[in-house]
Structure 1
């Protein structure tokens, strides 16, 4: 039990360290795949690291040396031997006795709950309409929200045929491709086994967040419509019961996902992941199981100093904890005659009677007459015999064929030779006074797995009664129960300290963020409500306009042909030209956005518009007309009027952007007769800017007045953002303005073909 608790404590502390590194260093990066790999590897490593060992073989010759002195004190606190049968044991039921039953009951309940979810999913699958099978299986369900589980994708019936269907399906397909269900099953299983560990729940929530970030990123890259996708998120927002096994379309917090959508990857963020390697090495070094290069004085030996002589004398009998007994485990007193035997020195640190310094005593000393028969405490073989006049004196080592070895010092005579086999109770030698000693006695040591342990715990046929025969102080070693309790308390303290450190670190890291979020959340809710109301109004308006458009379809076709004929202007040489209206945004009292360097959006757009006209001045196939030649204010209605008899309308704008980096955005109106042609030209513009290394996006709009009411195909172009310092400097230069104008010209030429 003690080893299991220590292992669990190590696992929890390791998870706390890894998760703190993720929250403080990696969480805000936009590298979602790397973050997912880090969380999974660190989680699995936390269960493996405590099992890692570095074993080192220790030569027998190094187990004893002249530096270890043995003695019998002439006037000490001694221990009388009492047969074990005379001790009455009391049986007490503690919390630790019933704790395995409590743990097992909760774990079985959680595992049963997971199986119940699997059964409910199978029932839902049977009652859902099977639509098609490709590399995934699609089901139409009555559930309020879409979700996926392994290769099965469940979409609510109300979404089929709607504009949100394709993006919702793409979102769930990302969950299927990335095998997110495996992560969810693994975490659900670990939560069932380690339900008492808070970090398991934080790991699960972090992985669910990353799953949603990965799916959102893939959908935006595919459709290039972040605004429309965010509208779909708001439409799908509603409460639903939680299941730890499936990937819901909208499980994460909407705000976090929208913030992450607008976050740009930086090329310098990858260095943060390199910090994980020294962190892993440090954790392995700190928490792996280390095997000593030489016999180690255990912490338990030092604990023996906690019991003072007065307290020891108040305990009439030491009850030795149970040790696994078999033929090869030491279990009896190694002396045959016991009537004149007393234990004069125990296991642990002692004050040396000759050198007056504190030394580690790695065995037990038994005062007995010279020539007392020494017996084997378990079956084994004589591994070594050595005759010396100092240190251990005449020394015999028995190997008991498994984890245990025993040693016998200060012998006067050997009864066996090396290689002889012995049985438990066989006479192996006679006691004496042959080494560094002050009186005849037997020095007895027990080694388990190469490390010294307290021999008192391996003498089951006698107990020890404390009695004082002199003034010298004797400090007894602690029992194994007390040692286990001390180690358990130490592990609990380390766990509490780790949790406190984690909480303090999180509090410092997110103090500013929480203050900002508190103020922003209310604003976000208000904006979301307003946006949703506007969308509902626009949808209703679009519905009416579609009905009107259907009734006037023939009239619109005739009007379109008439406009196409009027849009062709014959020049003096008789050729026809493609008429383009360039509309520099804002002007006059409306300066638009202003850059940090002081350049206004209206002035910059006018300069770029003139450069477009100058570049196409000698092109007979294209005619460029500016809506304004100077810094003057134009109403939206007057701008729309100038699109009469035109083939193309381009509105030039720049802006400020709250995210990192910069990109080009070309926008067209969704829902009028020019939508298809406007979309085509918007993509021409995006392609031209991408060809020169810019990031370009295409989006549609339901709200821009000039795009909606233009009498020809119309596109609104955001050619840059002042909020990016490098973009601001570039747009303010002549080279930057010429570069933007050239990309617009190239797109116009494609449109004029």
Structure 2
């Protein structure tokens, strides 16, 4: 991707430089200076984007805190129910082959540029074939007589003439003209432009450069030649030979450039020397391009000690030797990699046949190591891993041969178990206000752009800079255009590797503990559907705080009526925009009798459903007065609910959900748990690694399990039904 960005920057430079030539310099008669300008700006267009300079500013780091009393929401604890007898079914996941469009662009560009360079070389060889026989005149020109093809033209000091239709006077004028081309080395410019056109074949401006430079060559030769022979006589010869044409781009044809423009320039008044000062106006253009493409500014702050990742977290490239390959007691394969004096156990089930003890490998680790356990039906641990196991996203040999790579569909961001979004990207630009505070950071990973609006955070930092690799976590994103998102709710921005960070303390404390671990909330795939929404009626409260923009109210010691029930809670968050109400330390009383208490109750005001956590007691009525004397905890009722301790990742269309780290999924009367769960919403299928299937006192374990939700059938691999 970097080569494409570089070529686009080169193109932008050529557009601005040539635009300045067209608007300001083209009509000036300083032909030598114009020639130098065109050649110099072409080279500068390649040089400026290749330069990289940093500008550092010493700014006092200021951290701001805006504590918000948001209640912690914990996962729902589901009661196990009757297990459906597993039935074997076959499963063969399909493999989708994707086109790497970046690779296609690379090959198209490379092949096209190579072909154009070969064509240039072929034309040069074709031209040199005619230079074997020549006659040298007194001015050092090598005259070659031709009656067909390219005639009355020159290449360096070789002049191809057709003297059948030329008088002695005309021939003298023509030779003087071509002598100017030879002495000014105009043919070198032609060769240079041929190379530039091959490298920037997609850029239309480079072809305009070629025509403008050729025109300047002719103006310069015309000016010198007409001084010796007179403007009128020289113009007559131009008109006489105007019918001659040539398609050889490496030569200077006497009448190839537009005759009308050349004759007008012969009689055009010469520019005054004072106008040479106009060329100084090109300096701001060059400086502006230099600042835009070659200068980067640094911003950020040091990471706090308490925010460092836990001891089981490692991210980076490990280079070392394979000490052991083994099958873990819980079912999958690992290998021990000795790197920098430390041993890292890495999961290798998918590529164990491709490695052996003693191999020297490079593995890229990203994330936390997991301790995994197997338990019997009584809950006793019967097998577990000896320390954390890491996952490798890529494994290669020392010379770069690929052994394994975890290919993920390209997304702008992924989801953690706490619903926070996260993405690895690069800083494209950092915008600051007049007070030195960061207002906006633009991230771009080469495909997706994320705009982080930080104006309200009042942050001053000087460690991050454009081009840095970063990890960002956020919520509240909006799709503003194709492949471009914007948010003003950034949680935290880390440098990679993690040396610096910018943290939104209020949001960070809502989603993470002080050691960086997630505050995991329940994720639900579907909601119970009802006919109309419900509206809560506020009876009383001790204190209320309102967010007018987002239509959110925060109440303490609130009493609220909702349909046929009365809610009394220590804390209530009412989100009218999203149709959601969350109550903490709550009591829900039915008007017709019955009550229940819960640590957290979450109401969906759009469809009237609710869920509770740590509840006890029963209700006489539910919210819609249609389910009397039912358990206060929401029944699944053909819903799928899932959550995980480490991370939850979704495909672009959110149809495939991948859960990692103590993953659990509930469907009606079935509970599935394992180290990894992949739930396909389209096919209604579930694939579980290190699987446990539970109902009541019945528990079945397997190395892996495939479950079809529609048919309620399952296939187990490596199972032990006697455990």
- Normalising by structure 2, report the TM-score: 0.43
Question: Structure with the greater relative contact order (CA < 8 A, sep ≥ 6): 1 or 2?
Answer: 1
Name whichever structure is richer in strand by fraction: 2
Which is higher, the Rg of structure 1 or of structure 2?
1
Name whichever structure is richer in helix by fraction: 1
